[in-house]
A = this chain, B = another copy of it.
Amino acid sequence: MLVETKDYPINELRQCLENKDSDGIGRLVNDMHAADVGRVLTALDAEEAVELFKYLEPDPASQVLLEVDERLRKTLIASISSSELIEVVEEMETDDATDIISELPVEDARRLLDGIEKADSIELEKLLVYPEDTAGGKMQAELVAVTEDTTVEKTIEEVRRKAQDIENISNVFVVDSARRLKGIVSLDKLILASPATRIIEIADIDPLKVSADMDQEEVAKIFQKYDLVTMPVIDKDGRLAGRITVDDVVDVIEEEIFEDFYKMAGLHLEARVLDPPLRSIGMRLPWLLINLATAFLAASVVRLFQDTIQQFVILAVLMPIVAGMGGNAATQTITIVVRGLALGELLPKNAARLIFKEALVGLANGFITGCAASIIAYILGANVMIGLLLFLAMTANLIIAGLSGSVIPLLLRWRKIDPAISSSIFVTTCTDVGGFFTFLGLATVFIKTGIL
């Protein structure tokens, strides 16, 4: 199937649901990938989604459940009986099943674990021990492991046996009698080897592995750095506990990046576009209150110059321009620096070069936008000296923006404080205070010296 952007047959599905036309629904849904069915359910109203979900067999249903957001998933799970839920969970891979179970209320989770096959539930309970955001929480227990002395022939037999139940076997793990990881063999190497060879002889010895308690962000960085497709996970006793595949960490990589920018806007990573209002209010308020404090700090600078403003009210008209442009330039610098720090492109050896460069960029762009601003102000009827003032203050404030936008994130990183979360507060305080102070301060000097 050639993947193209396409529309989902939402209206046809609505029609079929209304007519209870199960054949029609089957025709529309059966060929769809679970990810697409997930999108369709999300696009429908909740009652329609519940209705459509009832028509799905346990196998597609289990995949579809993983493709919708947590809110809709809860609605769908609540709509089916506990025996149906057991069937659905039994179709899942262990890592997905544990994710679903850990979202359930404790009592429901208990009932579910009691309901499913003994062997499966023991596996699941082992995995449920690990917090969701660790390597252990992301890994699946399904894998093929053989001991060092197994022949290639026997290993292939083991793969055949396991392939009935496990999807995407891309590697065989080689362990010792205590299940300590000794090596990895990819399937193409396995096919390549002669049947009588001992598996350890063709294995990649001492492969990259992580411990089950490693944070998922670290795990994602390792996958990205080493371009991995799969990685073994070991428990605290050094025994092979599971494997993580790259599709499980792609979403973590995505979350990681969002997190930095969320922090810059004072948002909690969990914040979602359709959160209930009370939750949003509570999550955004602290940041706004901190900003209120810094806004008063900037206002107190303006207050110092009340007499100056009284003499030339035009200063009050133009001062937000100076502060605002500094804020814009600073946001550009912070965004670049935070990304550079996150990607590891910005190293200590380059700090001085960065700061100098950002000051230079601030000087140049301050000069140009300052010129433009003073010309516009003059055209709009301001005095030439006010224009000069605007030009000088904007140039100065964009240099302040470049300096503070680069120095502050670096200082925070150096003090082991996350640069994303606090940089924008400190830096915009610098550009607000700097903008008001240079503009109104210079104006006061101009007045005292008789220039204005």
Contact = CB atoms under 8 A, between A and B. Distances in A.
Contacts of A344: 39, 42
A209 B3 contact: yes
A141 to B, nearest CB: 17
A211 B364 CA distance: 45
DSSP class of A's interface residues: helix, strand, loop or mixed?
helix
Interface string A265-287: 11100011111110011001101
Interface in A172-227: 186-192, 206-211, 218, 222-227
Interface stretch (A54-62, A83-91, A251-259): A251-259
A291 B320 CA distance: 12
Given A170-B170, A288-B365, A324-B432, A261 B335 contact: yes
B284 A365 contact: yes
Interface string A62-93: 00000001000000000000000000000000
Contacts of A254: 224, 253-254, 257
Interface stretch (A12-20, A347-355, A442-450): A347-355
A362 to B, nearest CB: 9
Contact of A35 (B225, B257, B349): B225
A250 interface: yes
A236 B353 CA distance: 47
Copies in the complex: 2
B329 A302 contact: no
A388 interface: no
B299 A320 contact: yes
A310 B314 CA distance: 10
B346 A273 contact: yes
A93 to B, nearest CB: 11
Contacts of A129: none
A414 B344 CA distance: 37
A42 B349 CA distance: 10
Contacts of A159: 188, 191-192
Interface residues of A, number: 122
A151 B414 CA distance: 61
Contacts of A417: none
A247 B246 contact: yes
A313 B321 contact: no
B291 A325 contact: yes
A73 to B, nearest CB: 13
Interface stretch (A22-30, A98-106, A111-119, A369-377): A369-377
A30 B193 CA distance: 26
18 contacts: A1-B209, A2-B211, A2-B234, A35-B225, A43-B347, A160-B192, A163-B188, A168-B186, A224-B254, A229-B229, A257-B257, A258-B339, A265-B335, A300-B317, A300-B380, A302-B317, A316-B316, A324-B432
Q: Which 10 A-B pairs have the closest CB atoms?
A: A273-B340, A316-B316, A227-B247, A187-B187, A169-B188, A261-B261, A265-B335, A295-B321, A281-B364, A302-B317
